[in-house]
């Protein structure tokens, strides 16, 4: 169950990063509030998962989900570049997340 909570925390990390972009430097109130809420949820879920999961593995997976997910959403919906090196790097990052989970025990 803690791995599922960690995954959800990573999704909320992705959400707060996207809301941070939409906040336009905290000048737009609604995205700023959404950023703060999703940030708090992400941190709370990460803290809960860290009760039982190893911190190094869990933190790497949490940040990896957030980074890869944010980059994928930015490519698909925000028009960021799709160059080959970026796509290969995302595949490697996702592979690293999967490898850490498989090696993470618990």
Assign 3-class secondary structure to the chain. CHHHHHHHHHHHHHHHHHHHHHCCCCCCHHHHHHHHHHHHHHHHHHHHHCCCCCHHHHHHHHHHHHHHHHHHHHHHHCCCCCCHHHHHHHHHHHHHHHHHHHHCCC
Count of CB atoms situated within 10 Å of the CB of 91:
11
pTM: 0.89
> Which position has the higher pLDDT, 103 or 27?
27
User: pLDDT tens, 49-77?
Assistant: 999 999 999 999 999 999 999 999 999 99
């Amino acid at each position: 169950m803690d791995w599922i909570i960690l995954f959800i925390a990573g999704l909320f990390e992705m959400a707060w990063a996207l809301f941070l972009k939409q906040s336009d430097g905290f000048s737009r109130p609604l995205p700023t509030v959404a950023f703060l809420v999703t940030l708090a949820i992400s941190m709370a879920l990460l803290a809960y998962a860290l009760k039982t999961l190893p911190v190094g593995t869990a933190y790497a997976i949490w940040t990896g989900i957030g980074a890869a997910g944010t980059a994928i959403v930015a490519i698909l919906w925000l028009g960021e570049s799709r160059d080959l090196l970026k796509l290969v790097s995302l595949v490697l990052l996702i592979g690293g997340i999967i490898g850490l989970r498989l090696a993470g025990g618990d």
